[in-house]
Amino acid sequence: MSATPWADIAARFRGLGFQKRAGSIFTREVAEDVLGWLGLNRASRHSPAGEFEVNPVVGIRHQGVERVVAELRGEMFHAYQPPTVSSPLGYLMPGARYRAWMVSVDAPDASVEDLTAAVTEYALPFIESGSTLRALCGLMDDGLGLEHQLVYRRPVAWVLAGDRDRAAGLVEAAETDLGDRDDAAAVELRSFVAAFRSRFLLSSSG
């Protein structure tokens, strides 16, 4: 057993091909420009002394999509944050519900082993299922992720997949949904829509 439960979790995930990143994030290359993503949310406030709760979030990050999103939003490209699509691990398992793993500092072996087994059986197949751009588009259309992030990523993914009509419809719907909103988030999204159209849609006319 490693010195700490976190060290043991990291060692087991390395055995599954994951690379430890900052904080409690792990990534795994699954295809060219595509990363499997695993984030471990930790909570201990309501846990017994010597125990903590781990809620894993599983994701897929398409670097090509993320580069374009960053460019259109005027942001710096990050090497592995955020995932393009994501889901709590429990919702990928039978019963599709919230699941957390309680890890005891004194006796962590069983819970860490159970967590690793769940990642192997459910997280890895999910990651592999979105390793192509078309498959990733389908996952985004199914709402796998955070909507305030997906609204930027859906049209980019579809236009990169070659479907300009689908992409154009998505940005139009996003703009329409804003209505008369003039808050900071709405202004940011309108700026993205304008940049998207200028880059991908206006230049394709005719």
pTM: 0.91
- Look at residue 18 and give its three-state secondary structure: coil
pLDDT for the residue 172: 97
d(Cα 129, Cα 127) in Å, to the nearest integer?
5
- Longest Cα–Cα distance of the chain, Å, equals 68
pLDDT for the residue 3: 57
Percent of the chain with pLDDT over 70: 92
CA distances from 170 to 4, 41, 63, 67, 152 (A): 47, 31, 20, 19, 9
Assess contact for 101 and 54: CB atoms under 8 A.
Answer: yes
Written as one string, the DSSP assignment of 23-52 is TTEEEEEEETTEEEEEEEEEE-TTSPTTEE
pLDDT digits (tens, 9 = 90+) for 103-154: 877 766 778 899 999 999 999 999 999 999 999 999 999 999 999 999 999 9
